Amino acid sequence: MALTELNADNWEQEVMQSELPVLVDFWAPWCGPCKMVGPVIEVLAAENAGKLNVGKLNVDENKSIAIQYGVRGIPTLAFFRGGQEIKRIVGAQGKEQLQKVIDSVLGE
């Protein structure tokens, strides 16, 4: 499954109303650590397809959503279930660490 580019127009449908848990990658094009995490997120999205939806939200283009969720540092990875944020990771993480968090979110 490809990553969904999230924005104000599709946030409600893709994140708040999703049947599956959602991992949102809050990022910006100028952010070095975001560029390092991006390919890892893409691999995890493919490996967890059907169990977890994954989207990317450019904080420069969607400031209101970033502000609404109190995103102060990027990359921020936020997990949502049933329209509620259930977990958050700030900063770059490796694939193994992120998969462990995904597994714990899916197991809840």
Clarify whether 95 is annotated catalytic.
no
- Residue of 34, 59, 74, 92 marked active site: 34
In this structure, the number of other CB atoms found within 10 A of the CB of residue 60 comes to 12
Distance CA 100, CA 79 (A): 13
- Residue of 15, 23, 24, 31 marked active site: 31
What are the Cα distances from residue 28, in Å, to 4, 17, 21, 50, 82?
15, 24, 23, 26, 26
Clarify whether 30 is annotated catalytic.
no
* Residues labelled catalytic: 31, 34
